[in-house]
């Protein structure tokens, strides 16, 4: 049954995916956005627009535990990505969570989307009184690193960065997608050797005081390559505590594709929960191996799952097919040029 489910998701999934980049870690002081102690470049997006993009559930004000901030993958909104899986599971378990909706189904300039993430991190930290646990899928698992790099005040506000198949080093799949007639801006930026990806990974990839859990499936068909010796999702430099975990490290031979990892995969879910519930990043050794026999993660209703999956994959396909193409990568913002 799981093989049939994965085959369905794979068939519906489509690839998601000009100036020099800075090689140093920026360190501004006293930015105008985010209140006292903020830093980094001023926002281009109006503050009211940024604030309206954040949604939080019960238990997120003066919280007793870190609040998870969910960020969806390219082509998706948080509702499309997480409402039928993670949000249901977290609500049932009484886990506090928020989500931030990035513009245009995350198909437009990722640098603009990063302003939404910065604002959300600041707001959730102020609201909850706790360090934020950023939980993101695909582009959503990568974009938090752009926020942390170029808005340094966010580093003290984040405790965990949990990436599910994050496009940390881009994807080779984005090249053929953009080759014929251009592609969406976010696809250009997620190419493995784009100006955006180069800027993101210049200097340290992680920061002290933050725990980074990066999980990935070796059978990922979207973030490519995501297997040894250098998986795209993996982070290997900097002072942050890091764990790069393949699904094979938990369940040898576990077959999962890109879209399933971000929506219903039980191994991915178990690693997210392990990262949230322990000091430091997740550990494959702590995961109960009974997860290897599960078909669906907690929160997914088996009765509505076929319809939910069909809508999820159809939404991805619609965005890929209809979003306007551009013929080149968006230029780096001045703050990222060095």
Question: pLDDT tier at 315 (50, 70, 90 boundaries)?
Answer: very high
Whether residue 137 contacts residue 81, with contact meaning beta carbons closer than 8 Å, is answered with yes
CA distances in angstroms from 308 to 43, 71, 315, listed in the order given: 36, 19, 11
**What Rg value do the Cα atoms of the chain yield, rounded?**
18
SS3 99: strand
Does the pLDDT value for residue 310 go beyond 70? yes
Residues paired with residue 216 on neighbouring β-strands, in sequence order: 246
> 169 vs 14, which has greater pLDDT?
169
- Angle between the 266-277 and 86-93 helix axes, to the nearest 10 degrees? 40
pTM, full prediction: 0.91
Lowest mean pLDDT among 2-11, 98-107, 124-133, 259-268: 2-11
Residue 154 and residue 125: Cα distance in Å, rounded? 9
DSSP code of residue 256: -
Whether residue 289 contacts residue 254, with contact meaning beta carbons closer than 8 Å, is answered with no
> pLDDT (tens digit, 9 = 90+) per residue, 68-107?
999 999 999 999 999 999 999 999 999 999 999 999 999 9
Residues paired with residue 183 on neighbouring β-strands, in sequence order: 326
Lowest mean pLDDT among 29-33, 106-110, 211-215: 29-33
Give the domain ranges of the chain.
2-16+36-336
Whether residue 268 contacts residue 297, with contact meaning beta carbons closer than 8 Å, is answered with yes
List all residues 6 or more positions away from 17 whose beta carbon is below 8 Å from its beta carbon: 74, 167, 170, 171, 173, 174, 177, 186, 187, 190, 191, 222, 223
Taking residues 121-126, report their average pLDDT: 98
Q: What is the mean pLDDT of the chain?
A: 92
What is the side-by-side order of every strand in the sheet holding 97-100? Answer: 54-56, 97-100, 68-71, 132-137, 158-164, 211-216, 241-246
List all residues 6 or more positions away from 147 whose beta carbon is below 8 Å from its beta carbon: 114, 117, 118, 121, 154
pLDDT number for residue 243: 98
**CA distance between the termini of the chain:** 51
Alpha-helical runs (H) found in the chain = 2-12, 47-52, 78-82, 86-93, 110-128, 139-150, 174-179, 185-189, 195-201, 247-250, 258-261, 266-277, 305-322
Query: Is the torsion defined by CA of 207, 222, 13, 309 positive or negative?
Result: negative
> pLDDT (tens digit, 9 = 90+) per residue, 223-235?
999 998 999 999 9
Question: DSSP characters for 49-68?
Answer: HHHHTEEE-TT-SS-SSPPE
Does the pLDDT value for residue 1 go beyond 90? no
Question: pLDDT tier at 37 (50, 70, 90 boundaries)?
Answer: confident
Taking residues 38-59, report their average pLDDT: 97
Q: How far is CA 76 from the centre of its chain?
A: 11
Percentage of the chain lying above the pLDDT 70 cut: 89
pLDDT number for residue 228: 86
So what CATH class is 2-16+36-336?
Answer: alpha beta
Taking residues 8-25, report their average pLDDT: 40
pLDDT number for residue 164: 98
The continuous run of DSSP H or E covering 159 comes out as strand 158-164
Residue 204 CB neighbours (<10 A): 15
């Amino acid at each position: 049954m799981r093989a049939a489910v994965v085959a369905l998701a794979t068939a519906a999934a489509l690839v998601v995916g000009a100036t020099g980049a800075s090689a140093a870690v920026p360190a501004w002081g006293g930015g105008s956005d985010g209140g006292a102690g903020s830093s980094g470049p001023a926002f281009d997006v109006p503050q009211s627009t940024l604030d309206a993009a954040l949604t939080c559930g019960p238990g997120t004000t003066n919280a007793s535990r870190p609040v998870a901030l969910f960020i969806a993958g390219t082509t998706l909104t948080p509702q499309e990505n997480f409402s039928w899986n993670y949000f249901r599971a977290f609500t049932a378990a009484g886990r506090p969570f928020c989500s931030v909706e990035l513009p245009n189904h995350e198909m437009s300039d990722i640098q603009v989307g990063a302003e939404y993430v910065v604002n959300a991190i600041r707001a959730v930290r102020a609201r909850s009184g706790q360090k934020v646990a950023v939980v993101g899928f695909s582009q959503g698992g990568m974009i938090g690193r752009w926020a942390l790099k170029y808005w340094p005040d966010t580093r003290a506000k984040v405790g965990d960065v949990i990436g599910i198949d994050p496009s940390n080093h881009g994807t080779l799949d984005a090249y053929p997608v953009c080759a014929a007639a251009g592609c969406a801006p976010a696809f250009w930026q997620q190419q493995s050797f784009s100006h955006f990806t180069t800027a993101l990974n210049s200097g340290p990839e992680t920061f002290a005081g933050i725990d980074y859990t990066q999980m990935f499936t070796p059978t990922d068909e979207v973030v490519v390559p995501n297997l040894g010796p250098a998986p795209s999702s993996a982070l290997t430099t900097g002072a942050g505590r890091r764990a790069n975990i393949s699904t094979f490290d938990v369940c040898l031979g576990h077959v999962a594709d890109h879209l399933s990892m971000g929506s219903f995969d039980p191994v991915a879910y178990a690693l997210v929960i392990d990262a949230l519930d322990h000091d430091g990043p997740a550990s494959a050794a702590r995961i109960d191996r009974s997860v290897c026999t599960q078909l669906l993660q907690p929160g997914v209703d088996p009765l509505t799952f076929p319809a939910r999956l069909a809508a999820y994959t159809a939404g991805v396909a619609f965005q890929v097919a209809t979003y306007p193409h551009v013929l080149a990568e968006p230029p780096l913002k001045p703050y990222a040029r060095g």
